[in-house]
Copies of this chain bind each other. A is one copy, B any other.
Amino acid sequence: MTALHDRTVEPQVTTGPIRGSRKVYIEGPDDLRVPVRRVELSNGEHHDVYDTSGPYTDDSATIDLRAGLPALRASWVAEREPVNGAVTQLAYARAGIVTREMRYIAIREGVDVELVRSEVARGRAVIPANRNHPEAEPMIIGKKFLVKINANIGNSAVSSSIEEEVDKMVWATRWGADNVMDLSTGRDIHNTREWIVRNSPVPIGTVPIYQALEKVDGDPAKLSWEIYRDTVIEQCDQGVDYMTVHAGVLLRYVPLSAKRLTGIVSRGGSIMAAWCLANHQESFLYTHFEELCDILRTYDVTFSLGDGLRPGSINDANDDAQLAELRTLGELTQIARAHDVQVMIEGPGHIPMHKIAENVQLEEQWCDEAPFYTLGPLATDIAPGYDHITSAIGAATIAKAGTAMLCYVTPKEHLGLPNRDDVKTGVITYKIAAHAADLAKEHPRVQSRDDALSQARFEFRWLDQFHLSLDPDTALAFHDETLPAEPAKTAHFCSMCGPKFCSMKITQDVRDYAEAHGLTSVEAIEAGMDEKSTEFIDHGGRVYLTITDQHTPGHAPPESEDRPH
């Protein structure tokens, strides 16, 4: 950790609880302490929320960025014996061994630990947890669990710094990023990553080819297996939890991209295509894939098999290049699993809504249900500046269909490097997409938050509503823009409708009236109508008869049960 201590400028990160909540730990077996964010409500109840923010939101924690976070998992890893020569969660799961990571995750997800173990053993879920990243809190990626989101950060040659990127990492996890990828391509890649890994409460992913390319001054033709391998080892040693490897971009697939409107839009994919063509050889990632497996297995680093040929436009969606690569990723999935290495599969990109489900179906079929990890997809190309939204539509759709993790897209996509605000917008947007999909999958636990918030809304507990939301600060600020006074926080209306037109206020009046007059059932209403309103009923009946007499030929008559009586 010398790198951290050498640095003269220390990053500043956001600490302290999120508005309206505090960190609580659920105690489990083996002294496990699983964090949740507890939202205390004004009616005396509370609601616990899945929490990715680490010690930064714990008022009782001391944060020392130079020292890094406490090594939560150090003893777990140290005490474990290899099984069949491997130390991966996959190897343990296959051997029927339940790790502490699995127990932790079972508490975190509220599921049986056997579901965790069996899904990992089946390869349908992964636990990205490098033995050298003991600071991270265990989490799982798989379609049977909560949909996860990944936030990309990282500087480029023309923008940002280590300080900004560490701040972005903490900021992203504060708002709910389950994983963070450091995609730095500028100077100081190693040191930037060291700061991020040592201080990250969530798994960290990278794309090692970026750093390898920096080592050859940015000329893809000069890359080699040896340079790449050494880079991977360096990153494994450092504690990276999962790595994007574009090993499916084969030489013979490169011409397939020539027909495309937008060619190859994956950085890694384009680098490997350039290397293959310049050297007229098959990709060294493919030909040396087994050696890569041996390296990743030693640390329990998870493969994220990259979709280097993902479509970069609606026009190129689900085309030959994309699908050829996906088949190869299926082949590589089997190789990795044969080596007891965990695998997930990356997915597109730009896909119109009606072609999204096919992506999941083919991925599951060809890649034997390895967890799918998709970038969006963007459901249209026409909204640069709003691609968090174009992609949230695609992301919710693909997650509903079975995608396990969503890589966020920020408003700056296609236009520039995201800043802090963009990171937050991307994270919140993707928490929405993930939650919408969890609801659609009828996950047993997720609707309770919608219910709690809606009940608070209906009962005009404004602060509870804000605190239960994904972004309490913004909800409060928007409310206060028009009604800043404190009494408005308990008022039975807002500026949208004003007091006379608040439907929820009127509804409560209606309920009060109905209860006072015993009109709380259809029977009571109808009895009352019989007594008081025979005149209306006659009239109502007349309305209906007039309709049937007049209805246009070819149109179905109204449903009989709807007739006024």
Interface with B: A62-70, A95-103, A502-510, which one? A502-510
Q: How far is the CA of A475 from the CA of B331 in the complex (A)?
A: 40
Q: Does A528 count as interface, using CB distance less than 8 angstroms?
A: yes
The digit string for A498-520, where 1 denotes a CB below 8 A from any CB of B, is 11111110111111011001011
A380 x B274 contact (CB < 8 A): no
B500 x A330 contact (CB < 8 A): no
B429 x A386 contact (CB < 8 A): yes
Q: Does A83 count as interface, using CB distance less than 8 angstroms?
A: no
A220-B506, A479-B415 known; A514-B254 Cβ under 8 A = yes
Interface with B: A4-12, A191-199, A297-305, A543-551, which one? A543-551
Q: Does A223 count as interface, using CB distance less than 8 angstroms?
A: no
- Point out the residues of chain B lying under 8 angstroms from A379, CB to CB: 396, 432, 436, 439-440
- Point out the residues of chain B lying under 8 angstroms from A314, CB to CB: 439, 447, 450-451, 454
A265 x B429 contact (CB < 8 A): no
- Point out the residues of chain B lying under 8 angstroms from A327, CB to CB: 559, 561-562
- Point out the residues of chain B lying under 8 angstroms from A547, CB to CB: 290, 331, 334-335, 338
Interface with B: A25-33, A132-140, A226-234, A278-286, which one? A278-286
Q: Does A490 count as interface, using CB distance less than 8 angstroms?
A: no
Interface with B: A52-60, A71-79, A110-118, A461-469, which one? A461-469
Q: How far is the CA of A483 from the CA of B277 in the complex (A)?
A: 32
Q: How far is the CB of A500 from chain B (nearest CB, A)?
A: 4
Number of residues from A at the complex interface, CB < 8 A = 170
B440 x A352 contact (CB < 8 A): yes
Q: Does A270 count as interface, using CB distance less than 8 angstroms?
A: yes
- Point out the residues of chain B lying under 8 angstroms from A392, CB to CB: 389, 392-393
Q: Does A358 count as interface, using CB distance less than 8 angstroms?
A: no
The digit string for A330-353, where 1 denotes a CB below 8 A from any CB of B, is 110011011100000000001011
Interface with B: A15-23, A155-163, A164-172, which one? A155-163
A354-B442, A562-B328 known; A510-B454 Cβ under 8 A = no
Q: 4 shortest A-B CB distances, which residue pairs?
A: A313-B454, A157-B498, A331-B558, A263-B507
Sample of 6 more A-B contacts, CB < 8 Å, known A313-B454, A334-B557: A334-B547, A334-B558, A381-B453, A382-B468, A389-B432, A393-B433
